[in-house]
Amino acid sequence: MPKKIPPPAATLAAVLVLAVACQTSAPDPGAIDRDLLDVTVGQLHRLYAERKYTVAQVVQWHLDRIDRYNGVYGAVETVFRREALAEAAQKDAEQAQGSSARGPLWGVPVVIKANTSIAGQVTTAGWHGFTRAGHELIAPRDATIVAKLEAAGAIIVGHTNMPDLANSDTNRSSSYGRTGNAYDVRFSPGGSSGGTVTAVATNMAVLGNGTDTGNSIRMPSATSALVGFFPTRGLVSIAGIAPLDWLLDNTGPIARNVTDAAIALAVMSGEDSLDACTMAVPDTAQRPPYEPYLRADALRGKRFAVPAFVLAGEGIPFRGIPACVPEAAAEAIRTDEKEPLRPPTHAMFMQALAALRSAGAEVIVTDDILPASFAKLASRVGTYPYTLFGTNRFLAVFGSPEYRSAADYQRVVGAPLFPSMIGTGASRVMGGVEIEQRPFDTDPDAERNYRAPRREMLAAYLEPLDRLKLDGYVYPAIQMPPPDETMPQDGRVSHGPHSATSWVNMIGVPAVAVPAGFYPNGLPFGLEFSMRPWRDGDLLAVAYAWEQHTHSRRPPVLVENGLLPVTPAREARGSQAPAR
């Protein structure tokens, strides 16, 4: 849909827009604001069924929100204005002609994270190196989830800002700039899906996708009172998403409520020959539709435990430590990665546990459930040696025609790819050992670096669930409140709020962040649940029951003038900004 529109198609789109506009009067601004602020997918579809608004009017309202607020909050890097309006007009024309064919996201404005390929558009992934004039990473095809969302009727209004190649816990990019928190623009929205969470929280879109290599769906959602769902790895394809670490990467929906997240997850899931993990889903996996799982009493009788290592702030180095690093050096690295649970967050978590118990759940807090030894075990799931392998696989299919590998990019552009994509970043040397890049499929050390410790870690995760007959785990989605980015954090420029949740990616189990109240300064606190692999429906049920029991979310109060400068959003390739 946000592909560059050729002139004849653009002319037809303009005719469709004009034709629909002639048949409908402009909506009352007050009424449409009341109807569309925090609108759900179900509510929007009822408005369409009642013919209260056209799709074009709904899309235009969301584009107007981008024009009004993006200059302050910096959520959307690229606006697909003309493409979105053309698609909306097409849908309105089909409805006028009596068509009843509608997908589950028909006419729903959505945003897509900037590392997710959209055919004909630049996949910036937040990095200036993919926006170099004449050498842009122009996607030759849609990412699998983009194709699925469009097939379901969604209308993509923009690519959202993100830090360079998703390699940060806050949301500053070299290709665009900074994104602010919807609840206070001075504060971090978290990363790396901070653009999507701010866009959804500020009603620039109804929902969007995030990607997650260590916490990047769940942690930003927690900063912004949203639902962020990390599916069991393999339920949703990651094909077409520029990788940070393909062995840890995942994608899932970010929404304002659990029902919308469940609808979006059902659309996004499914087999894909470009992602082998999706071709190995067990028969026992809970598959869509997911709405039937949603029950308000789903927490009653459930048993959860709190991972002791999270409360203790034990460190798990991002991307793990390969087997070649001696244990003494590995222990020093783990010590450096400790992230204490801050007192305000601990207090909010205790309040959340009380609410969970009041909903009928049992919560066990002891020092021997996923203790420090679990964090130590997780730290040995080493993925860094296989970074370049994943990057080359992505570029081979979704790269620009002039570069289909990291070597091609270096040759054509005269500069290397972003260090975290090719294994030349700070983690290249661990404990005095240089980490070589290797082909995953043929590396004899892949077993001891990754496969064996991952199996052992998953077994350790499941053991308390079996022994204590637990339904899952519950813990803070972040170890601290969102930081004020106008002030130093630990004596330096903010790197964003940090979490202790990257272990979820290492074993690929499902997890969800949900709104769970507000700190005294008005910024959101988020709670996270995780469960057994392939129990995604049950996890959505838990999130839904929590939502219905607490009603924790409230929308942000937005400002139209910010304290920090923000770069204006780019128009899509071939589009023009509206006249002012």
CB count in 10 Å sphere of residue 252: 30
Q: How far apart are CA 323 and CA 388, in angstroms?
A: 18
Q: Which are the contacts of 38, defined by CB distance < 8 A and separation ≥ 6?
A: 203, 256, 555
Buried residues in 381-420 as b, exposed as e (16+ CB within 10 A): bbbbbbbbbbbbbbbeebbbeebbbbebbeeebeeebbbb
Catalytic residue ranges: 113, 192, 216
Q: How far apart are CA 538 and CA 544, in angstroms?
A: 10
Helix (H, G, I), strand (E, B) or coil at 48: helix
In the block, tokens 């004849």 appear at: 8
Please compute, for residue 505, the number of CA atoms within 13 A of its CA located in the half-sphere on the CB side.
31
Q: How far apart are CA 84 and CA 63, in angstroms?
A: 9
Report how many helices (DSSP H) and strands (DSSP E) the chain contains, helices first.
Answer: 20, 14
Q: How far apart are CA 486 and CA 472, in angstroms?
A: 38
Q: How far apart are CA 111 and CA 358, in angstroms?
A: 36
Please compute, for residue 377, the number of CA atoms within 13 A of its CA located in the half-sphere on the CB side.
18
Nearest by Cα to 449 from 461, 458, 462, 440: 440
Q: How far apart are CA 41 and CA 255, in angstroms?
A: 10
Q: How far apart are CA 324 and CA 277, in angstroms?
A: 27
The answer to whether residues 184 and 491 touch, using CB atoms and an 8 Å cutoff, is no
Nearest by Cα to 231 from 265, 197, 280, 273: 265
DSSP letters for 177-200:
-B--BTTBTTB---SSSHHHHHHH
For the chain, the first-to-last Cα distance in angstroms comes to 25
Nearest by Cα to 111 from 226, 228, 225, 205: 205
The answer to whether residues 420 and 167 touch, using CB atoms and an 8 Å cutoff, is yes
CA angle 316, 145, 163 (to 5 degrees): 45
Angle formed by the axes of helices 55-73 and 41-49, nearest 10°: 140
